[in-house]
Structures are given as C-alpha cells and as structure tokens.
C-alpha cells in the first residue's frame, strides 16, 4: 500500500479547515443553543419548584390564619354569649333587689301612713269625743250628776293615772 505524504498534509489541512468552519458555524451555535435551552429548562424547573413551595407555604399560612380566625370568632361568640348571660343574670338580680327594695319601701310607707293615720285618728277621736262629751255635758249636766261623774272618773281613772 502506497502512502503519499502529500495526502497526509492535505488531510490535515482539510480536517483543520472543516473543524474550524464547523466549530464556528455548526457545533458552536448548536451547543450554545442547547446549553441555553438546558439552562432555561433547569431555571424553569427551579422556579416552578420555588413557586410551588411558596404557594404551599402561603396556603399553609392561610389555612393557619383561617383556623385562628375561626377559633377567635368562636371564642368571641362564646365570650359574648357568656357576657350576655352574665349581664342578664346581673340585671335579673338587680331588678329583683330593686323590686324587693321598692316593696320594702312601699311597705314601710304604708306602715308609716297607717301609723300617721292611726295617730291622726286617735287625735281626732279624742277631740271628737271631747266635743261630743262637751255637748252632752252642756245639755244635761246638773250639779248632782257632775259630782257623780267626777267621782266616777276619780275612781275609775285614779289608779290608772297613778300608774
């Protein structure tokens, strides 16, 4: 088999030219495009992962917030109910006390009035009795009878007056 050194040199020259041209025009741009695409896909996956994690976090936060709000609302409601109940109790108790007090006042007032009336009545009765007695005495009294009566008074009322 013959080997031509000239052909070896030509092969090298051709190969180097082809290699440089292809590197410039084909492999370089192609590999860059592919790498750019790979980078882009990686980035997209990364950002998708990140966004998903963020969304999950947000969702969890929201859920927690919701639970908290619901709990708070329940607590508030309970508290309100409790306070209402307590208020009612208080109100009831107070009104009962008031009523009792009013009743007591009324009773006392009635009693006072009664007492006053009794006293007034007593006074009036005494003066009436005196007036009646005066009239009676003025008309029918003579000396004998006056003397008899005075004695009777003295007998009858003496011990009591002494006591």
Please give the angle made by the CA atoms of 11, 15 and 20, to the nearest 5 degrees. Answer: 155
CB of 45 to another protein, least distance (A): 12
CB of 67 to another protein, least distance (A): 42
SS (H, E, C) 25-66: HHHHHHHHHHHHHHHHHHHHHHHHHHHHHHHHHHHHHHHHHH
CB of 14 to another protein, least distance (A): 6
Is residue 5 close enough to count as binding another protein by CB under 8 A?
yes
Choose the binding region for another protein from 3-11, 57-65, 88-96, 136-144 (rule: CB under 8 A): 3-11
Among 40, 94, 96, 103, indicate the residue that binds another protein (CB under 8 A). Answer: 40
Is residue 62 close enough to count as binding another protein by CB under 8 A?
no
Q: Which of 23, 21, 25, 17 is nearest to 9 (CA)?
A: 17
Question: What is the rounded CA–CA span in Å between residue 51 and residue 38?
Answer: 20
Applying CB under 8 A, the residues found at the interface with another protein are: 1-12, 14-19, 21-37, 40-41
């Amino acid at each position: 088999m013959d080997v031509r050194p000239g052909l070896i040199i030509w092969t090298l020259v051709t190969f180097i030219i082809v290699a440089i041209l292809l590197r410039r025009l084909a492999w370089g741009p192609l590999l860059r495009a592919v790498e750019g695409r790979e980078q882009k896909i990686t980035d997209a996956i990364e950002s998708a992962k990140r966004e998903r994690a963020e969304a999950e976090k947000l969702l969890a936060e929201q859920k927690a917030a919701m639970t908290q709000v619901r709990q708070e609302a329940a607590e508030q409601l309970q508290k309100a109910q409790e306070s209402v109940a307590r208020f009612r109790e208080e109100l009831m108790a107070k009104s009962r006390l008031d009523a009792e007090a009013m009743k007591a006042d009324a009773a006392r007032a009635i009693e006072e009035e009664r007492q006053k009336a009794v006293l007034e009545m007593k006074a009036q009765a005494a003066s009436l009795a005196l007036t009646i007695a005066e009239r009676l005495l003025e008309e029918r009294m003579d000396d004998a009878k006056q003397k008899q009566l005075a004695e009777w008074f003295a007998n009858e009322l003496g011990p009591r007056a002494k006591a």
